């Protein structure tokens, strides 16, 4: 067996072939692959391949957990207010009855899906809800704390962290147990009493001796045990919310509500209950004790740790096999602005990337340069080209946006032609590029299929297939099957098949046979799409309409790399998005801004 100088002591003895070398499993050190990748004996290409493999493997090990915008929040509902020990005082009435008020409830915490939010960045990591007010003399009860509403974007998935998750914070009972740890039994009892009882000043010692206090304490502990059991039961059914739809209350919509009727705003979903308030001393009045000098403190509010995950909100989702050209297409549609990597190996894209497509009234979608005819090459090629330009001093002479605008103004004054890029933006929509989907992705082959969560809510899906491949129709069949395995009915959201890499078929210099072959292939794909890929028409809720109407997918051959025939794709996509937004009652989102304003 060959050894490298950085091997750690052997831990296990199975033998692994790792990138052409033979190691024991233990011999691959913690940062093994990176050290291997940097090994000077490897060619740059081999190092690069190793680095890629490591990245893809890391992604696979996450089991789909690292695909989305997510955060963990720790919530503490409000504690209940303390009960009060007081006695009524009145002229000529020296021994009035006990008159301490009860404490108010601590605030409950709700999670409310809100349409105008788009990221989880506005959600704080630690949330502490207000406590209930304490009771006061003359039977005045404490104020109930108003509920605390945590607003999250629509499309958020809320999961309570399981008990064995190291990221979870302690719940209210565990926190108390930790506080009491290491104390002697007497100290422990004193501390527990202190946390639960309010005494009339200086009367704590005397109260503790009384039989009725001991009885009250037993009852309190009994109640607490029941609460604790209920809390444990609740923890066995951890919170899981898929907040896909905005909350609505019937009252808020009622047109016949009386004038001045308070609008009842939706509160959302209760995730942590506030603690109950303590009871005042009148509650402990008994035939044997006419002046109870104790009251209870409020209960602590629930503490929960939640993981929030946001499903991305892209209008159109691209679905395709690895190397079909999804990332190239997104770059072409966004004028190269979407920073998604393009390379000629499978699983280049490891995370969904969203780009914005801006469309002018005339259907063009120009950005910094003319997109028709622009070449969107592999990232490494483009970077090399950019480096070359930089070294050649090209960028030093580049005009700033203001300089360019000044030149345009000048040209307009002289009556020259309007700059083609000075078009009014009429519409914009977002497109999500995704990792490649392969056969059996549902069985966790490749990167699995959990990234599809990000386009579950898209208005339309676009299949991207490689037209230069052997059998693009087989790709389509597999993609549709995998979508259905991920979520039955999801493939009904598909609207278009983009047959990419058309430039490789029958282009310049191709023989007549090649052209005929290309035509025949496109014809066969067209037939397959027409006959086999029909999808049901959906209603506003995303369910097939009652009449069972179906429609055929659009098929557009394009070349993403050379930006050919993309206007047609953009036009069709705009149509789907407009239609879906109208159907779902969403603002169509027409904007009127200069592209370069």
Site residues, Mg ion (CB under 5 A): 327, 348-349
From residue 516, alpha-carbon distances to 474, 509, 523, 530 in Å are 21, 14, 10, 21
Does residue number 344 form part of the binding site for ligand GTP (CB under 6 A)? Answer: yes
According to the binding rule CB under 6 A, does residue 478 interact with ligand GTP? no
Q: Is 325 in the site for ligand GTP (CB under 6 A)?
A: yes
Question: Is there a contact between 121 and 97 (Cβ–Cβ < 8 Å)?
Answer: no
Helices (H), 498-551: 512-532
Q: How far is the CB of 327 from Mg ion (least distance, A)?
A: 3
Q: CA 255 → CA 250, 259, 266, distances in Å?
A: 10, 10, 17
CB of 592 to ligand GTP, least distance (A): 32
Nearer to ligand GTP among residue 281 and residue 559 (C-beta): 559
Among 104, 106, 132, 436, binds ligand GTP (CB under 6 A): 436
Torsion-angle region of 145 (φ positive above 0: left; ψ -120 to 50: alpha; else: beta): beta
State how beta strands 424-433 and 316-320 pair: parallel
Confirm or reject binding of residue 49 to ligand GTP (CB under 6 A): no
End-to-end CA, the chain: 64
Q: Is 373 in the site for ligand GTP (CB under 6 A)?
A: no
Torsion of CA 276, 281, 282, 287, to 10 degrees: 130
Q: Which does 168 bind (CB under 5 to 8 A by kind): ligand GTP, Mg ion, none?
A: none
The contact pattern for ligand GTP, residues 501-530, with x = CB under 6 A and - = no contact, is x-xx--------------------------
Selected from 114, 134, 207, 500, the binder of ligand GTP by CB under 6 A is 500
Of 321 and 366, nearer to Mg ion (C-beta) is 321
Region binding ligand GTP by CB under 6 A among candidate stretches 64-72, 201-209, 555-563, 587-595: 555-563
The answer to whether the CB of 467 falls within 8 A of the CB of 520 is no
Burial bucket for residue 538 (CB in 10 Å: 0-12, 13-18, 19+): middle
448 binds ligand GTP (CB under 6 A): no
Angle made by CA atoms 566, 350, 581, in degrees to the nearest 5: 50
Which of 276, 324, 360, 529 is the binder for ligand GTP (CB under 6 A)? 324
- Is residue 430 within 8 Å of 315, Cβ to Cβ? yes
Name the residue nearer to Mg ion (CB basis): 141 or 434. Answer: 434
C-beta neighbour count of 27 within 10 angstroms: 24
Beta-strand (E) ranges in 213-351?
A: 240-243, 269-272, 294-296, 303-310, 316-320
CB of 562 to ligand GTP, least distance (A): 6
Selected from 561, 566, 569, 570, the binder of ligand GTP by CB under 6 A is: 561
346 binds, among Mg ion, ligand GTP, none (CB under 5 to 8 A by kind): ligand GTP
334 binds ligand GTP (CB under 6 A): no
Rounded Cα distance between 111 and 90, Å, is: 48
Give the range of 12-20, 157-165, 275-283, 347-355 binding ligand GTP by CB under 6 A: 347-355
Q: How far is the CB of 429 from ligand GTP (least distance, A)?
A: 20
C-alpha distances in Å from residue 181, one per residue of 175, 177, 185, 188: 10, 6, 10, 8
Q: Which is nearer to Mg ion, 59 or 131 (CB)?
A: 59
Residues near ligand GTP, by CB under 6 A:
320, 322-328, 342-344, 346-349, 377-378, 435-436, 500-501, 503-504, 559-561
């Amino acid at each position: 067996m060959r050894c490298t100088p950085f091997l750690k002591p052997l831990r296990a003895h199975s033998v692994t072939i790792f990138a052409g070398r033979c190691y024991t499993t233990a011999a691959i050190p913690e940062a093994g692959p990176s050290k291997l990748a940097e090994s000077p004996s490897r060619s740059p290409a081999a190092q690069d391949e190793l680095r890629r493999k490591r990245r893809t493997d890391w992604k696979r090990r996450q089991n789909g957990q690292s695909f989305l915008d997510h955060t963990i929040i720790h919530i503490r509902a409000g504690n209940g207010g303390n009960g009060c020990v007081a006695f009524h005082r009145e002229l000529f009435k020296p021994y009035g009855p006990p008159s301490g008020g009860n404490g108010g409830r601590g605030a409950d915490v709700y999670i409310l899906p809100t349409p105008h939010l788009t990221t989880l960045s506005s959600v704080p990591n630690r949330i502490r809800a207000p406590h209930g007010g304490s009771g006061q003399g003359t039977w005045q009860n404490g104020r109930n704390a108003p509920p605390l509403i945590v607003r999250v974007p629509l499309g958020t998935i809320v999961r309570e962290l399981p008990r064995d998750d190291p990221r979870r914070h302690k719940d209210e009972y565990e926190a108390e147990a930790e506080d009491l740890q290491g104390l002697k039994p007497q100290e422990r009892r004193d501390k527990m009493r202190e946390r639960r009882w309010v005494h009339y000043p200086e009367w704590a010692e005397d109260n503790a001796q009384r039989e009725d206090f001991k009885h009250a304490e037993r009852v309190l502990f009994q109640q607490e045990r029941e609460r604790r059991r209920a809390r444990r039961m609740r923890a066995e059914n951890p919170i899981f919310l898929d907040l896909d739809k905005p909350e609505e209350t019937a009252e808020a919509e009622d047109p016949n509500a009386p004038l001045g009727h308070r609008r009842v705003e939706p509160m959302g979903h209760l995730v942590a209950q506030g603690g109950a308030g303590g009871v005042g001393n009148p509650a402990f009045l008994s035939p044997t004790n006419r002046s109870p000098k104790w009251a209870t403190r409020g209960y602590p509010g629930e503490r929960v740790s939640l993981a929030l995950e946001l499903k991305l909100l892209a209008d159109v989702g691209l679905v395709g096999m690895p190397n079909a050209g999804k990332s190239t297409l997104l770059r072409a549609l966004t004028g190269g602005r979407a920073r998604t990597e393009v390379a000629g190996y499978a699983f280049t894209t490891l995370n969904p990337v969203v780009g914005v497509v801006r469309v002018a009234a005339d259907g063009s979608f120009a950005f910094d340069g003319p997109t028709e005819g622009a070449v969107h090459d592999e990232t490494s090629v483009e970077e090399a080209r950019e480096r070359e330009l930089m070294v050649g001093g090209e960028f030093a002479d580049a005009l700033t946006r203001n300089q360019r605008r000044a030149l345009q103004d000048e040209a307009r004054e002289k009556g020259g032609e309007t700059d083609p890029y000075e078009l009014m933006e009429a519409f914009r929509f977002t497109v999500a590029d995704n990792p490649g989907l392969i056969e059996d992705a549902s069985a966790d082959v490749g990167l699995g299929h959990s990234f599809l969560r990000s386009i579950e809510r898209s208005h339309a899906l676009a299949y991207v297939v490689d037209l230069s491949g052997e059998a693009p129709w087989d790709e389509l069949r597999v993609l549709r099957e995998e979508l259905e395995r991920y979520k039955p009915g999801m493939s009904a959201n598909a609207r278009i098949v983009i047959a990419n890499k058309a430039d490789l078929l029958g282009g310049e210099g191709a023989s007549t046979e090649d052209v005929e072959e290309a035509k025949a292939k496109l014809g066969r794909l067209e037939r397959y799409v027409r006959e086999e890929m029909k999808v049901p028409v959906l209603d506003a809720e995303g369910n097939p309409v009652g009449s069972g109407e179906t429609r055929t997918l659009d098929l557009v051959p394009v070349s993403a790399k050379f930006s050919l025939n993309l206007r047609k794709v953009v036009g069709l996509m705009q149509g789907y998005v407009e239609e879906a937004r109208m159907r779902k009652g969403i603002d169509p989102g027409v904007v009127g801004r200069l592209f370069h304003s």
